């Protein structure tokens, strides 16, 4: 069995739990160590806490990583030597190198980077310094995992100096049951007199989307409502809770469990908001978000933004509604003539697309773990050969 040390930037992030479930379903034994994002964040049993970090506080997070590096030997005391170390995001890559040294320096490191932080793209000294840190910390990386081809095309290939092999691992829904028994989402047009519903689920961090949807629903005077559910990034909003509470056609229902609650929450909406302006023109234009796969898995019609990787992805599959400009007037024009017949046609296009585009099943989990286990085997073999070569060299022999 492959033993994995998973270093997490935020132990309460649902994405960390999904990755842990994926690895365990593939046959790995996973130990999670990482930071709490805020002092009030609970830590599940079995997780090794490394400290507390805060959203939007880059300097504080750097200081927390430095402190954690100093205490890491103590924190990992008693932990079994892993077969591989996975570092989620750049800050954890620094700790991965430290953990590797603690375990003897021959553990393969996997760098999992599913977002390109805006600081990495700056052209000033700060940007160059951060990219230099990524290059230095990534010198021992055996595999880079990322979730969108646009990240590779726009950052890792032309900008980043990382030399590691790259694996594309999309943000698909974990589906561990047999494909034949998967729940099939039904069409759900609203009853006469009820509004159409747009679901905006997951990481809620885009104030521009919030404002746009508020203006749109007011303009439509109740014909459309927006259902929000997930984890708001409160640092990105002046007053998220107060804003939503004052909007008559927007409703926030708190966090949900992924993947257990996905069928329920998507069954309550007809459309899925697949737009993110959080880092407009950069990360948000390149990513393929979790909500894209989640919504399409349950046949919610995706609404995406023209010119993004998400729009390219759905357009290639001939599904979804593409917003041409980021304003409520254009969104109103896109959706104003929505009828039951039009909705059913759009629903049918999504439903007709193979579910394997949206799910990551148990066989996929096993293939992933096998790929990671091969890193451990090949690195161990390389280390053994290097040691044997050194022994022969010391004796004056040649291999």
Instruction: Give domain limits for the chain.
Output: 3-172+361-394, 180-356
Q: 3-172+361-394: CATH homologous superfamily? A: Glycogen Phosphorylase B; (3.40.50.2000)
Which residues are registered as beta bridge partners of 35? 51
Query: How many residues belong to the chain?
Result: 399
The pLDDT profile of the chain, 399 residues, written as one tens digit per residue, is 999 999 999 998 889 999 999 999 999 999 999 998 876 677 778 899 999 988 767 788 889 999 999 999 999 998 999 999 999 999 999 999 999 999 999 999 999 999 998 899 999 999 999 999 999 999 999 999 999 999 999 999 999 989 899 999 999 999 987 654 456 689 999 999 999 999 999 999 999 999 999 999 999 999 999 999 999 989 899 999 999 999 999 999 999 998 889 999 999 999 999 999 988 889 999 999 999 999 999 999 999 999 999 999 999 999 999 999 999 999 999 999 999 999 999 999 999 999 999 999 999 999 999 999 999 876 554 544 344 344 333 433 333
Question: Topology of 180-356 in CATH?
Answer: Rossmann fold (3.40.50)
Q: Do domains 3-172+361-394 and 180-356 have the same CATH topology?
A: yes
Which candidate, 227, 225, 185, 238, places its Cα nearest to that of 202? 227
Rounded distance between C-alpha atoms, residue 115 and residue 150, angstroms = 11
Chain CA centroid to CA 187, Å? 28
CA geometry: angle 291, 20, 236, nearest 5 deg: 45
Write down the pLDDT at residue 380: 52
pLDDT, tens only, 259-281: 889 999 999 999 999 999 988 88
Rounded distance between C-alpha atoms, residue 49 and residue 34, angstroms = 5
Kind and range of the H or E run holding 32: strand 29-37
Write down the pLDDT at residue 395: 37
Write down the pLDDT at residue 57: 75
Instruction: Mention every residue, 6+ apart, whose C-beta is less than 8 A from residue 46.
Output: 31, 32
């Amino acid at each position: 069995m492959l033993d994995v040390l998973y270093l997490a930037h935020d132990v309460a992030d649902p994405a960390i739990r999904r990755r842990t479930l994926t690895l365990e379903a593939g046959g790995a034994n996973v130990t999670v160590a990482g930071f709490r994002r805020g002092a009030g964040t609970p830590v599940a049993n079995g997780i090794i806490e490394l400290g507390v970090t805060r959203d939007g506080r880059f300097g504080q997070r750097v200081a927390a990583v430095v402190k954690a590096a100093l205490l890491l030997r103590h924190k990992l005391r008693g932990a079994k030597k892993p077969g591989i170390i996975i570092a989620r995001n750049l800050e954890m890559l620094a700790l991965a190198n430290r953990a590797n040294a603690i375990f003897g320096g021959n553990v393969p490191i996997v760098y999992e980077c599913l977002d390109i932080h805006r600081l990495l793209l700056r052209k000033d000294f700060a940007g160059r310094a951060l990219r230099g840190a990524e290059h230095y910390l990534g010198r021992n990386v055996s595999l880079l995992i990322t979730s969108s081809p646009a990240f590779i095309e726009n950052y890792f290939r032309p900008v980043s100096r990382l030399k590691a092999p790259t694996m594309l691992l999309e943000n698909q829904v974990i589906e561990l049951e047999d494909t034949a028994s998967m729940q099939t989402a039904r069409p759900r047009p609203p009853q006469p007199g009820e509004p159409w519903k747009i679901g905006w689920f997951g990481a809620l961090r885009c104030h521009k989307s919030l404002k746009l949807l508020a203006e749109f629903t007011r303009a439509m005077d109740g014909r459309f409502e927006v259902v929000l559910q997930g984890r708001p990034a409160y640092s990105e909003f002046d007053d998220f809770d107060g804003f939503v509470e004052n909007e008559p056609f927007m409703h926030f229902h708190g966090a949900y469990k992924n993947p257990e609650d996905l069928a329920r929450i998507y069954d309550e909406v007809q459309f899925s908001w697949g737009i993110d302006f959080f880092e407009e023109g950069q990360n948000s234009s390149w990513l393929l978000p979790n909500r894209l796969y989640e919504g399409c898995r349950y046949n919610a019609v995706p609404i995406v933004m023209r010119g993004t990787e998400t729009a390219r992805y759905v357009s290639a599959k001939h599904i979804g509604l593409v917003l041409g400009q980021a304003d409520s007037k254009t969104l109103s024009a896109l959706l104003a003539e929505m009828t039951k017949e039009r909705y059913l046609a759009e629903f049918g296009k999504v439903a007709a697309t193979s579910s394997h585009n949206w799910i990551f099943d148990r066989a996929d989990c096993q293939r992933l773990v096998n790929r990671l286990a091969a890193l451990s085997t090949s690195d161990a073999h390389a280390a053994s050969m290097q040691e044997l070569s050194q022994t022969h060299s010391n004796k004056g022999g040649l291999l």
